[in-house]
Amino acid sequence: MNYYIVTEEIFNTLTKGNIEYMHRSNDGSKRIVITSDTVPTILNTFANVTSLSEYTFTNNSDWVGDGTGIEEDSLLYDNYIPTIDDI
């Protein structure tokens, strides 16, 4: 798996069926994406789910806004469902 932060524009070009997890930033400009695809244009990449989770806790105002972050379990087990992406 690959762990990325991408812009909204890049996210819109990705193959949605290959995305395992997605989380939109609070301002809607970027997304955390876990995918089997290799994405050439990224804002950030992470070696594993642990480093991605730690990043969200350090930069929580971008992602959750409540002083916490995204737990590893959520990153691993909250599956992305493309049909409800824009809800």
pLDDT tens digits, 8-36:
999 999 999 999 999 999 999 999 999 99
Check if the beta carbon of residue 39 is closer than 8 Å to that of residue 11. no
Sheet bearing 44-46, strands edge to edge: 19-24, 30-35, 2-7, 44-46
Q: Give the model confidence (pLDDT) of 45-61 as tens digits.
A: 999 999 999 999 999 99
Look at residue 64 in the predicted model and tell me its pLDDT.
92
Check if the beta carbon of residue 15 is closer than 8 Å to that of residue 37. yes
Kindly tell me if the per-residue pLDDT of 66 is higher than 60: yes
Where do the domains of the chain lie? 2-82
Look at residue 87 in the predicted model and tell me its pLDDT.
41
Distance CA 70, CA 12 (A): 22
Q: pLDDT: is 85 or 35 the higher one?
A: 35
Check if the beta carbon of residue 76 is closer than 8 Å to that of residue 49. yes
